[in-house]
Amino acid sequence: MPKAALALAVAGTLVAASHTVLAEESCSGSGTPMTVEAVKAKLALDGYTQIKDIRSHQGCYEAKGFDSAGKRFEIEVNAYTGTIVNKE
């Protein structure tokens, strides 16, 4: 039984690590990144209406706020494409 628990712990760690790597890779792009205003406009179209904070880091914008249903969100958006790459 302890071997099974160890295997699950290792698998969980690998999944979490790969998710982080995928999010960072998906924020790559070329050309000029979108402006903060353009990202806010795109997010508003997607239902993220109350953006309280948006910051740029490693090719992504991290946005925090409330969606149209009043639910808190924290997401990462590719700065070059405007695609949501990670939701919390």
* Confidence (pLDDT) at 1: 54
pTM: 0.66
* Confidence (pLDDT) at 13: 46
Q: Which domain holds residue 14?
A: 2-87
| CATH number of the domain residue 19 falls in | 3.10.450.40
Domain count, the chain: 1
* Distance in angstroms (rounded) separating the CA atoms of residues 36 and 55: 8
Per-residue pLDDT of the chain (88 residues), as tens digits, is 566 554 455 445 444 444 444 445 588 888 899 999 999 999 999 999 899 999 998 889 999 999 989 999 999 999 999 999 999 8
For 20-59, b/e burial (b = at least 16 CB within 10 A) is eeeebebbeeeeebbeeeebbebbeeeebeebeebeeeeb
* Confidence (pLDDT) at 27: 87
